[in-house]
Chains A and B, each alone.
Chain A
């Protein structure tokens, strides 16, 4: 089983839609979780950290479910500019501070 697994997509949604991505991780003792965004032919950029109690940043909401070992990202009122690949990132316990990246979920927001 991969350490971090994501549905590769693509998710094709109309502008204004709400879309959610899930990501599962294998190490139950993992400590830190993040969502990154990667635009085509660009480097990944940190979108938001994921806290145990859930956190929101504008149209983006991240949640962590430790019992089921998954994290989620919800995007409300999606914009054309949200089209990108979203990478789930986990800091597994015992791995020092090394971050493990999922392969990403591709989102395409259409008119």
Chain B
């Protein structure tokens, strides 16, 4: 597709259940990010994938959170045993992943519309 696609757009789950969130990045983008944003708060970095490199998992808040990216494209964020504090909008973004200096190409990342997760 033309943009980053996330599914589902909304998810309501019961506390203790596992959830899977999906991100389909822009075709050809090698870098993929997951962030989450609680109501009225800033973006919280979760995990970053770049090509075939080991992902940067430094932002995952607990071992209940995991993510994978199969075939360098689609990514799935899994939250096990969900808690109420996991309620947030989970945003995925992708970028070309190439760093260019100065005026060459300032390529940023493009976001999907997010998955609004509510844990009840």
Contact = CB atoms under 8 A, between A and B. Distances in A.
B97 A97 contact: yes
A60 interface: no
A46 interface: yes
Interface size on B, as a range, is 20 to 34
Interface in B22-81: 31, 33, 35, 41-43, 45, 48, 50, 53, 56
A103 B97 contact: no
Contact of B99 (A34, A50, A91, A103): A91
B48 A96 contact: yes
B51 to A, nearest CB: 9
B1 interface: no
A24 B112 CA distance: 27
Contacts of B114: 43
A43 B109 contact: no
Interface of A: 31-34, 36, 42-46, 49-53, 87, 89, 91, 95-104
Interface of B: 31, 33, 35, 41-43, 45, 48, 50, 53, 56, 91, 93, 95, 97-103, 106-114
